Chain A
Amino acid sequence: MTLADVWYWILALLLWLYIFTDGFDLGVGILCLMEKNEPRRGVMIETVEGVWHANQTWLVMLGGVLFGAFPLVYGTVLAALYLPAGFLLFALMARGMGIEYRPETDDPRFWTQVFGWGSVAVTVAHGLLLGAILQGMPFDGLRYLGGPLDWLAPFPILVAATLLCLYPMFAAAWLVLKTEGELQDAARLWGIRFGSAAVGCLVLLVGYIALDGRLGHLVGRPGQGGLSPLFVLLLVMAVLNAALYFRALGKGWEHRPLMYCASMLVWIFLAFGLNVFPLLVPPAVTAASAAAPNDMLRVMLYVVGGLMPVVVFYNAYQYRVFRGKAVPGEEA
């Protein structure tokens, strides 16, 4: 395994951390639009008030690591995806303002809406960006050969739809853990609805890939239709974890639904990741071709790799400090 490969998988880990953690707090934003009762929305938002910020910071780390380890990708892909990338930044701003300013006002309803729709917008931007990269971007060296609106295609839109179901599914599990009573019951119901929709979207997405031969690089059959056995196996594992999630919700367990969300996302990552590797940006940009010089990757590995456990540790500590059910109105 080369250093570029190591960084490929570190990047995947950071993306997983970002999608899982920011996923559930974005999902809470989306679920706020489902809940009509404002004080109850307040409790939902309070469960993520202390953690959304650190969760979002995985994106900043992801950006920094991509910039440092794969400068050629950072300098080309973001420019080629100028509009959806800009949309993501504005959406992040709206979401952040919604959650930060909500407690400062006497009438929080407006800011709840900003937080909720901001979360929807961030999720859509995630889907469009991920979808656009996964479906493939043609480059000639550093020059982008595609059009400025290539991301506006069925596949990225399907990815966005999947995330719009997946994030609330994670959020439901988080709310089951952090709330009690009627709100917790509502969260279980959301979990079943959005969880089913997420599985449905995932199947639809995979079906689309299997039928559209141009996306074969995602499922182990480059240039042709269908699915490779390995991909099918990993996908079945992901769906199995979704089934375990439903069972855990039904049994009234509080910790396990969230754990199954995490493991389900691991299987999804493996299903696509193992097939796409070593491509960083299909169809031609590989980890090795876009990586920084080896010396730089090594320095970065010592520093970032050495710090990662510390970072994970104090993030875990922070979750521990604020463990237990959210207490409405707890400030100090």
Chain B
Amino acid sequence: MDFLADALLLSRVQFALTTAFHILFPPLTIGLAVFLVVLEGLWLKTGDLVYYRHFRFWSGLFAINFAVGVVSGIPLEFQFGTNWGPFSATVGNFFGQVLGFEGTMAFMLESAFLYIMLFGWKRVGPRMHFFATIMVCFAASLSAFWILVANSWMQTPSGGHIENGVFVVTDYLAAIFSPDLPLAFSHMYLACLELTAFVVGAVSGVYVLWGRHTAFFLRTFKFAALAAVVLAPLQALVGDLNGQEIGRIQPAKVAAIESHWNTNKPGTGAPWHVIAWPDPEAERNVFAISIPDVLSLLITHNPTGKVPGLKDFPKQDRPPIVLPFYSFRLMVGVGTAMVAVMAWTILLWRRGRLTVERAGGNRLLFMSWALLAPGAYVAVIMGWVTREVGRQPWLAYGLIRTENGHSALSAGEVGLSLAGFCVAYTLLFGLFIHFMGKRLRRGPDLDELPPPAHRSGPVAG
């Protein structure tokens, strides 16, 4: 158990564990906030009580999800100081500032308007309530933007240089809009929406299967299916663009993701390994099932395009291989399954199988949605594993090595906090599942009426 004595490794495990746990919650918060704006907009426009009741039902789930997201998120900000002190001291004037912007602009806005959205129905009028919902949604998305600004800067640090141990910003906008940001933010934001579509679809589908409130939940199921029609293929497209971009800005990451050792010679294509097991000592794959030329096609969209292999990079600059290789394939697999299930859903819908009378018979369809909802979470985590493990051995790519950014902590201290996080997050997760399940079993309140001030019929549009 050598690793227990290695404070650096323990800190890395702790950050990986706490971020991976945290990222289970914000995507649904971000996506559901968008969904709630749409629901409330429809309720205000049509005066159809179904939308109001959907809003109340989904906002209840939103609240539980948001709570765990916040509780698990605060340790992340502070870990930069506690465990990654030298990194923070070096880049804090930019990196810390970005996190400060997130707190000031986004997080506070969300906190202040959330309660009005959840419990303010009797206290404010319809327009103000709608405004609060929009603010919650805007703030959640803005949070995602600033966090991705910080993370993308770690991937492609730009806009300055290190001088006397401190990062000096020379071009502020270049630092914020680092090369990695546009596609990384698009990819993550779409992931939030897509995950939410599959969670909403899965929850609705399970109610339909149970035969509870079939008409009520068919409406949101179809809504989710329509969202998936747009989101699932678009995400595949953005993911592909992202792959090409990373080939340009972080070629070592691509080589690791693909366990690709030798740069292809001019005039030949690089093969794509479906499955492989790398041997980093011998600098080769122990075995691989490969398809010729496909890697060149994927990364450069040209069958003989040049893809640099791992051997082109000094050994000490190579990321781990196994983890990014398999996490990437898992993510892509889930994404592909989402496109397939979306197409199948539309097919059945067009054949008239999604009516109130016949919907309950589509057991296999709804079960696939129910499987893809947790699948979406797996995909998000695997995507981040690919991105962050592939960034190694750097904290800020090419600028600060991971080992140089770590605080002078003892393995005992970090081991203690890591054990604490393991216990606390296991409890948090168990409670989250328990209370979420309780809400879902109780289901929506279909007799609920809005407070009088909100009943005057359409007020917007």
Contact = CB atoms under 8 A, between A and B. Distances in A.
A89 B78 contact: yes
Given A96-B70, A96-B71, A314-B113, A74 B88 contact: yes
Contacts of A90: 420, 424
- Which of B97, B107, B124, B410 has the most CB atoms of chain A within a 10 A radius of its CB? B97
Interface in A214-246: none
B100 A67 contact: yes
Contacts of B85: 74-76, 78-79, 142
B115 A332 contact: no
Contacts of B112: 54, 314-315, 317-318
B33 to A, nearest CB: 15
B367 interface: no
Interface stretch (A151-159, A176-184, A195-203, A293-301): A293-301
Contacts of B77: 60, 63-64, 67
A57 B143 CA distance: 13
Contact of A71 (B67, B92, B420, B424): B92
Nearest to A313: B112
B51 interface: no
Given A67-B81, A79-B81, A321-B124, A54 B100 contact: no
A104 B435 contact: yes
- Which of B78, B80, B91, B428 has the most CB atoms of chain A within a 10 A radius of its CB? B78
Contacts of B105: 307
B215 interface: no
B87 interface: yes
A260 to B, nearest CB: 25
Contacts of A76: 85, 89
Given A75-B85, A299-B97, A86 B417 contact: yes
Given A68-B92, A75-B87, A293-B93, A321 B120 contact: yes
Given A79-B81, A89-B75, A96-B67, A71 B96 contact: yes
B81 to A, nearest CB: 3
Interface string A36-69: 0000000000000111011011011101111111
Given A71-B89, A71-B92, A71-B96, A82 B82 contact: yes
Interface string A314-332: 1101100110000000111
Interface stretch (B164-172, B265-273, B294-302, B376-384): B164-172
Interface in B37-77: 63-64, 67, 70-72, 74-75, 77
Nearest to B109: A314
A90 B112 CA distance: 23
A259 interface: no
Interface in A136-189: 142-144, 148
Contacts of A332: 119, 121-122, 451
A3 interface: no
B169 A97 contact: no
A78 B169 contact: no
B100 A64 contact: yes
B113 A303 contact: no
B94 A79 contact: no
A238 B81 CA distance: 33
A67 B89 CA distance: 8
Interface size class of B (residues with CB under 8 A): 35 or more
A142 B82 contact: no
B86 A142 contact: yes
B374 interface: no
B122 A75 contact: no
A317 B420 CA distance: 38
Interface residues of A, number: 63
Given A76-B85, A92-B74, A293-B166, A57 B107 contact: yes
B104 interface: yes
B333 interface: no
A301 B416 CA distance: 38
Contact of A322 (B84, B97, B115, B420): B115
B103 to A, nearest CB: 4
B203 interface: no
A86 B18 CA distance: 13
Contacts of B124: 321
B132 to A, nearest CB: 9
Interface in A270-329: 292-293, 295-296, 299-300, 303-304, 307-308, 311, 314-315, 317-318, 321-322
A34 interface: no
B93 A296 contact: yes
A17 to B, nearest CB: 11
A90 B44 CA distance: 42
Given A90-B424, A143-B408, A321-B116, A60 B107 contact: yes
Contacts of B362: none
Contact of A67 (B92, B166, B168): B92
Contacts of A59: 74
Contact of B96 (A67, A79, A144, A148): A67
Contact of B82 (A86, A92, A292, A315): A86
A75 B431 contact: no
Given A86-B82, A318-B116, A296 B97 contact: yes
A83 interface: yes
A93 interface: yes
Contacts of A292: 92-93, 97
B407 interface: yes
A61 B104 contact: yes
B83 A79 contact: yes
B351 interface: no
Contact of A61 (B108, B119, B410): B108
Given A296-B169, A314-B112, A318-B113, A92 B96 contact: no
29 contacts: A53-B111, A61-B103, A61-B108, A64-B101, A65-B100, A67-B81, A67-B99, A68-B96, A76-B85, A79-B81, A79-B407, A82-B82, A85-B78, A90-B424, A92-B71, A93-B72, A97-B71, A101-B67, A142-B85, A142-B89, A143-B408, A148-B410, A292-B97, A299-B97, A300-B97, A304-B104, A314-B113, A330-B119, A332-B122
Q: Which 5 residue pairs are nearest across A and B when measured between Cβ atoms?
A: A71-B92, A67-B96, A64-B100, A75-B89, A78-B81
Given A75-B81, A299-B97, 7 more contacts: A53-B115, A60-B108, A65-B100, A67-B100, A83-B416, A144-B408, A303-B101
Interface of B: 63-64, 67, 70-72, 74-75, 77-78, 80-105, 107-109, 111-116, 119-124, 166, 168-169, 172, 407-410, 413, 416-417, 420, 424, 428, 431, 435, 438-439, 451
